[in-house]
Amino acid sequence: MPTSTAEEKTILARPIPYDLTIFGVVMIVSGFFDTYLIIANPDYRLPVFGMKLKGPMGWYLNLLYPVVHFIIGYGVMLAKKWAHRLFVGFTVYGMISATVNFIRLPPPHNIRTVFLIVSALVLVYLYLRRGAYNR
């Protein structure tokens, strides 16, 4: 039986699971898309808990979301425990805000409904993969 050397084992070993790397890349790409949409539509204000902040403060609040996406993506790609906690917290925050928006804002709610369903699935995934964040 051929034996592998320590160098070969190092090359073959993958300490961070592929799904976390993919999820991290998706979050970073999402941050780029968010940034583009915010800059391309300077009058758009993201509704948060059923209200929209007007003026520069609302625009800067919008820019906070891509920053959080970038931070989460970076941490998830490195399988950091803090990234898992931040990801869970940000997802729960988004779900609570979307639920309040669903109740307070007028229809249509198609995007909010899809967001809530996808967020619930992401939370289940994050719960099932919590052991992979070990750094």
User: Each residue of 107-123: pLDDT tens digit?
Assistant: 888 989 999 999 999 99
| Range 15-36 average pLDDT | 93
> What's the pTM?
0.82
Task: State the pLDDT at residue 6.
Answer: 58
pLDDT at 7: 57
Q: Can you tell me the mean pLDDT for 44-52?
A: 84
Whether residue 81 has pLDDT greater than 60: yes
CA angle (100 as vertex; 94, 105 as ends), nearest 5: 115
Q: What is the mean pLDDT of the chain?
A: 88
pLDDT digits (tens, 9 = 90+) for 62-79: 889 999 999 999 999 999
Reading the block at residue 44, the tokens are: 């758009």
- Pick from 42-56, 100-114, 115-129: least confident: 42-56
Do 73 and 24 form a contact (C-beta atoms < 8 A)? yes
State the pLDDT at residue 85.
Answer: 96
Instruction: Find, among 20, 111, 37, 135, the residue nearest to 73 by Cα.
Output: 20
* Per-residue pLDDT at 13: 56
3-class SS letters over the chain: CCCCCHHHHHHHCCCCCHHHHHHHHHHHHHHHHHHHHHHHCCCCCCCECCECCCHHHHHHHHHHHHHHHHHHHHHHHCCCHHHHHHHHHHHHHHHHHHHHHHHHCCCCCHHHHHHHHHHHHHHHHHHHCHHHCCC
How do the domains of the chain map onto residue ranges? 17-132
Paired with 48 in beta bridges are: 51
Query: Which residue type is seen at 135?
Result: R
Please count the residues of the chain: 135
pLDDT of residue 2: 59
